[in-house]
Amino acid sequence: MDKTKVNQCVESLCQSGCEAVRATITSMEMDLRSSQTQDLDQNEYEAVLNELKSIMSVYETSDD
């Protein structure tokens, strides 16, 4: 797995903003590849998805 490629993809996707990242996560969970993820192998694809989910979990709020 090319970690540099994964990091670059995550950084590029995050530059689009939170709403775009949420939409990307949803698309990736349905295995719908975008131009930014089409060159990733399956392990890299899953690493990007997991990293995006981890990043976005910081922004989740609870209704406690």
Helices (H) and strands (E) in the chain, counts: 3, 0
Q: Please state at what angle helix 3-14 crosses helix 18-29, rounded to 10 degrees.
A: 130
Return the pLDDT at 61: 64
Residue 36 to residue 59: CA distance in whole angstroms: 23
Residue 59 to residue 64: CA distance in whole angstroms: 15
36's tokens:
């930014």
Q: Which stretch of DSSP H or E encloses residue 63?
A: none
Global pTM reads: 0.85
pLDDT at 64 over 60: no
What pLDDT, in 10s, does the model give residues 7-44?
A: 999 999 999 999 999 999 999 999 999 888 999 999 99
